[in-house]
């Protein structure tokens, strides 16, 4: 494991522990059952999910027939969306409770996706065994993000899609606050933030090159959820984007990287 870069230091990365919150928080039936509503409920939650679905699909286009591994699949949102678009999808997660919800949701939606237990730090798959690997809302939480990214790149033959909160965004303030609370024993998800530079370098170290990037919001998602108006959010964010702010401080960031020719 290499030392933390400036983005890690600035956001405060939780030290690796025997029971890191990224495992214990999701090994809970109530968390699994309420996850979708908490993250993607309401007009802004739906907007967030639908936008990322379109972005991920465009990054993997054409989707039909593509083999995809969704790492940290959670309740299966990305896996189900890609399966319904024609991809052959396997979703893996370290939480049996989240996987149970994912399987149920896939069955209810009629999506043909396979789900299995798996840890992003050590995937039980052969090298380059999937056309593409998708990993959303994971690197910001996982104990060793570089090792995790190396595993994503190892099993992908063509593309890797990940997302992360940006260091140069409002997410930094929340990340610092959560890290402080975590140090004092609070049960919070003390996530890290990233620079595009650190992510490009990490991909390059694993034989990949970032080829696409999408930034979603300038203002904090929590603020938009409080407003609870998709029309207001779209208007405000369009004005801020027109002023060039989304390009500078937009977050979350979703990127695609492609394997470099050997």
The predicted-structure confidence for 47-92, as pLDDT tens digits, reads as follows 999 999 999 999 999 999 999 999 999 999 999 999 999 999 999 9
Residue 55, pLDDT score: 97
Cβ(57)–Cβ(63) under 8 Å? yes
Cβ(104)–Cβ(77) under 8 Å? no
Phi, psi for 156 (deg, rounded to 5): -95, 130
Determine how many CB atoms are found less than 10 A away from the CB of residue 158. Answer: 16
Cα–Cα distance, 176 to 20 (Å, whole number): 18
Residue 262, pLDDT score: 67
Domains of the chain (ranges, CATH numbers):
6-259 (3.40.50.150)
Cα–Cα distance, 4 to 198 (Å, whole number): 10
Which parts of the chain sit beneath pLDDT 50? 1-18
Residue 182, pLDDT score: 81
Residue 237, pLDDT score: 95
Residue 71, pLDDT score: 98
Cα–Cα distance, 42 to 46 (Å, whole number): 6
**Shortest CA distance to 165 belongs to which of 176, 155, 154, 156?**
176
Cα–Cα distance, 160 to 45 (Å, whole number): 24
Cα–Cα distance, 233 to 116 (Å, whole number): 37
Cβ(122)–Cβ(96) under 8 Å? no
Cα–Cα distance, 86 to 118 (Å, whole number): 23
Cα–Cα distance, 10 to 19 (Å, whole number): 23
- DSSP letters spanning 145-192: HHHHHHHHHHHEEEEEEEEE-BSSSTHHHHHHHHHHHHHTT-------
Q: Counting every residue, how long is the chain?
A: 262
- pLDDT tens-digit readout, 102-114: 999 999 999 999 9
Cβ(69)–Cβ(125) under 8 Å? yes
Residue 5, pLDDT score: 39
What does pTM read for this prediction? 0.90
Phi, psi for 147 (deg, rounded to 5): -60, -40
The DSSP symbol for 122 reads: B
């Amino acid at each position: 494991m290499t030392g933390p870069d400036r983005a890690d230091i600035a956001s405060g990365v939780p030290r690796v522990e025997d029971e890191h919150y990224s495992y214990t928080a999701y090994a809970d039936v109530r968390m699994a059952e309420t996850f979708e509503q908490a993250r993607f409920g309401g007009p802004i939650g739906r907007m967030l999910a639908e936008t990322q679905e379109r972005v991920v699909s465009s990054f993997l286009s054409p989707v039909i027939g593509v083999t995809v591994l969704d790492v940290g699949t959670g309740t299966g949102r990305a896996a189900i969306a890609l399966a319904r678009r024609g991809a052959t999808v396997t979703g893996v997660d370290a939480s049996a409770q989240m996987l149970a919800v994912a399987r149920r949701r896939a069955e209810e939606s009629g999506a043909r996706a396979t789900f299995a237990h798996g840890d992003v730090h050590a995937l039980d798959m052969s090298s380059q065994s999937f056309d593409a690997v998708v990993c959303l809302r994971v690197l910001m939480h996982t104990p060793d993000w570089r090792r995790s990214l190396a595993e994503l790149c190892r099993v992908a033959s063509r593309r890797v899609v990940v997302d992360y909160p940006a260091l140069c965004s409002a997410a930094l303030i929340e990340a610092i606050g959560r890290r402080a609370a975590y140090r004092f024993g609070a049960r919070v998800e003390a996530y890290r933030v990233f620079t595009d530079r650190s992510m490009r370098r990490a991909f390059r170290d694993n034989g990949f090159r970032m080829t696409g990037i999408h930034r979603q919001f300038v203002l904090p998602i929590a603020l938009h959820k409080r407003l609870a108006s998709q029309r207001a959010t779209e208007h405000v964010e369009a004005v801020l984007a027109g002023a060039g702010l989304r390009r500078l401080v937009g977050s979350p960031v979703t990127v695609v990287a492609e394997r470099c020719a050997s």
